[in-house]
Chains A and B, each alone.
Chain A
Amino acid sequence: MKYARVGAALTVFAVVASACSGSTASPSAAAASGGASGGTGATINVKVGIELPMTGGEAPNGVPTANGVALALSQIQVPGFNITINQQDDAVNGKHSADQGAKNMSALANDPSVLFVVGPYNSNVAQAEIPVSNAAGLMQCSPANTAVGLTKGDAAKALRKTYPDKIAYVRVATTDDNQGAGTADIAYNIANAKTAYVLDDTQTYGKGLADGFEAAYKVFGGTVAKRDGVPDSTTDFNSYVTTLKSLNPGIIMYGGVTTSGIGLFRKQMAQQGLATIPLVGGDGISDGSAATPSSYLNIAGPDGDANSYSTVAAIHDIPDPAKFSNDYKAKFNSDPGAYSAPGYACTQIFLEALKAVSPGVTDLGKLREAVRAYVADPTHTFDTVLGKVGFDANGDTTQHTISYYQFDPTTKDWKFLKQRDFTADPVK
């Protein structure tokens, strides 16, 4: 009987643990505040939802991205509208949570004055949110999602449960087939590694990115010596490092995010004297300098940072980088993050759509649908801080550019190497 008790104890523990990991976000209660006045000349109160991970180890990702949205709203006005932010946080205990993301998305969908959402940051969160935004007909624009299955193929159709042919999710970051190709390009052509050890964090984004890497790396002519995955709460990577020693690959490719533990992995590699083997990762590890608490470079430590490469699934050389960076610094007193400009771009797309559809429409429900339809229309292009952006029939950006970075020991930060446009210059 004792073990029945132990079992019951475990169950209770699990239930309580999941129930108590509740939200730190404060969903807006002012659902009715954005009333449609109808009269000419009166301003209409509308909101942009921001759905990003804002706390804990995710703060280096979410906060600069949300700042990009705030910067755009402060600089661009739409006559007749007073636009504010409904801020949501999908980090639970400092880590992005798909469940929390879905809850936040429902809260945003239930706030009639929210016409557009910027977010989420993580692909598995998007997976949980797309069915919600699709059912509500609320357009969301992700600045950073890269997993292929979110927009393409049957998997994406299954996510758009309610209206399979209605796009309510677009993204300005390109997909992991391209980002994977970018990491493979770095591995094969920049780090000159002909064999790779590929590791993913068993999450939607990480696994997809590693798959994209494998496909492109083989096209380049590289050999994948071994592929493995680590559950995302692992802290002991020493056994992986030992295996690595026997493989002695030219490079390690990591598909995953920093909060899954790659910094620890790199630190343990350095401890066993293996940090001479380069490591390449995607935008999941491109999360700030060594001085940023909890970033990849911060956790891996000085020895681990050496020979590290990363990518970002967006244009680095934006049309006017100095202006954007100066404006950002003036407002937030810090450098923009990897996805600040994409966050800004999402907001620009919304504002442009709102300008185009708003004349004569005052009903919030109609505005929401009109904005959605305008953004999703593949014939429209938008002038953004990233340059001209349009979306294809799946909601994917027409820009297929990946930016490459390498760790720079003098600044202790990522240094831009180059960017590659995979439309103009595909992997052959």
Chain B
Amino acid sequence: MTTAVQGSRSRLPVLDRRWLTPIGVVLALVGAFLLMYLGSCSTVGAGTCDRFSQGEDQFINALTVGGMYALIALGYTMVYGIIELINFAHGEVFMCGSFVSWGLLTNLGFTGPISDPLLLAGVLVLAFLVSMVVMGVVGVVIERLAYRPLRNAPRLTPLITAIGVSFILQNIIFVGISNSFVNSPQIIPNPLLELGAIHIRLINLFVIVLTLGLMTALHLFINRTSLGRAMRSTAIDRDAAQIMGVNINSTIALTFFIGSALAGAAGVVQGLYFGVTQFQIGFQGGLKAFTAAVLGGIGNTTGAAVGGFIIGFIEVLASTYGYGRWSEAAVFTTLVLVLVFRPTGILGQQLADRA
């Protein structure tokens, strides 16, 4: 991030450099909202349709689903940043996370909304904690068994084992639990909240706050803690980091733990928000998140978050304008265009800086 904006300092003498990011974010959000606003009601005569509230709803839809993609994308990008592996099993980790939370909630006997706020908070904390820890451990085990033995092998080899792991995880769920959709308990009540001019459903608010919170925590962890510094240094130069006393194996394991835990959290969100999960959602979700990671600049955690939101917005925009059947084409066209003009993604590579 720092290198990306350094050049612009001299050209914008009035603006302090640290204001660029917030201003950019605000401009992007306003622009996205304007696009939603303009696209809304495109097929309905004016006067019968409230453009503002339509645009607002679509904006919130995009933020919610984009946040979910971003959570998954973070894991892709962290792993790529540190060992340059496209961890294709990552989408399945997300899928398994949704099944962990489904299993936990159904076994606790919940089927619908919980009205007692304290109980709800407790169950939510439990669901996220269990799913994140379980999937984090699964991620570490995957790394230990499938990737670490191949760390110095040609790069295609661990890629193939990654695909193998993804099939193993998919088939464990397919054979062991369900070969089709299962209904996941939606324990968060669903009232429409009115916060000033903003109308938002509780579940959307929850997902947006949660994803932003997790991203902030991750950002602080990577940039402000010694473990985070170890991760960054391992990403930049593994051998040098080792010489400086960083324990490479545990640092990589930690990266897998965090990335997989975030995917586990996204899995819980899948169940809470959509109320359904299936053994195949990992493929689609993983592909979208992988696209998000590449779009934002693979290896760059901020980029992955940005990419996730962008993909959420593109999908929702397509259906807002009445071209829902083109939503996937729109996502991948954007990816191609970005890569043509900016091969390193929107924010460029940050963690891994080797050519």
Contacts and interface: CB of A to CB of B under 8 A. Distances in A.
Interface of A: 1-3, 5-6, 8-9, 12-13, 16-17, 20, 55-57, 59, 93-95, 202, 225-226, 228-231, 233-236, 238-240, 242-243, 245-247, 259, 263-264, 267-268, 271-272, 293-294, 298-299, 301
B169 to A, nearest CB: 13
Interface string B254-267: 00000000000000
A299 B275 CA distance: 9
A383 B270 CA distance: 51
A243 B319 contact: yes
Contact of A242 (B61, B174, B283): B61
Interface in B201-236: 201, 203
Contacts of B343: 3
A12 B160 contact: yes
A234 B88 CA distance: 20
Interface stretch (B11-19, B115-123, B321-329): B321-329
Given A3-B339, A12-B156, A245 B54 contact: yes
B161 to A, nearest CB: 11
Contacts of B54: 242-243, 245-246
Contacts of B190: 271
A246 B319 contact: no
18 contacts: A1-B355, A2-B84, A2-B298, A2-B355, A3-B339, A12-B159, A12-B163, A56-B180, A94-B179, A225-B44, A228-B325, A229-B324, A239-B324, A242-B58, A246-B49, A246-B50, A293-B181, A301-B183
A93 B174 contact: yes
B289 interface: no
Contacts of A16: 160, 163
Q: Is the interface of A mostly helix, strand, loop or mixed?
A: helix
A13 B88 CA distance: 8
A230 B325 contact: yes
B65 interface: yes
A271 B275 contact: yes
A369 B227 CA distance: 74
A95 B50 CA distance: 39
A98 B248 CA distance: 47
A230 B298 CA distance: 29
B284 interface: yes
A2 B349 CA distance: 11
B41 interface: yes
A256 to B, nearest CB: 12
B315 interface: yes
B179 A247 contact: no
B63 to A, nearest CB: 11
A234 B203 CA distance: 20
Nearest to A235: B274
Given A2-B298, A9-B159, A299-B181, 12 more contacts: A9-B88, A12-B163, A93-B279, A230-B325, A233-B284, A235-B274, A236-B61, A243-B54, A267-B274, A271-B190, A294-B181, A298-B183
Interface in B48-74: 49-50, 54, 57-58, 61-62, 64-65
A115 B182 CA distance: 39
A226 B183 contact: no
A347 B84 CA distance: 57
A367 B243 CA distance: 79
B281 to A, nearest CB: 6
Contact of B298 (A6, A226, A234): A6
Contacts of B323: 228
B334 interface: no
A153 to B, nearest CB: 23
A13 B181 contact: no
Contact of A238 (B61, B159, B270): B61
Contacts of B182: 293
A267 B181 CA distance: 13
Contact of B280 (A6, A94, A231): A94
Contacts of A2: 84, 298, 349, 355
9 interchain residue pairs of minimum CB distance? A229-B325, A57-B180, A294-B180, A239-B316, A242-B57, A239-B319, A246-B49, A238-B61, A56-B179
Contacts of B186: 271
Given A16-B160, A271-B275, A240 B319 contact: yes
B104 interface: no
A57 B181 contact: yes
A166 B346 CA distance: 57
Contacts of B163: 12-13, 16-17
Nearest to B86: A9
B138 interface: no
B146 to A, nearest CB: 15
B347 to A, nearest CB: 15
B320 interface: yes
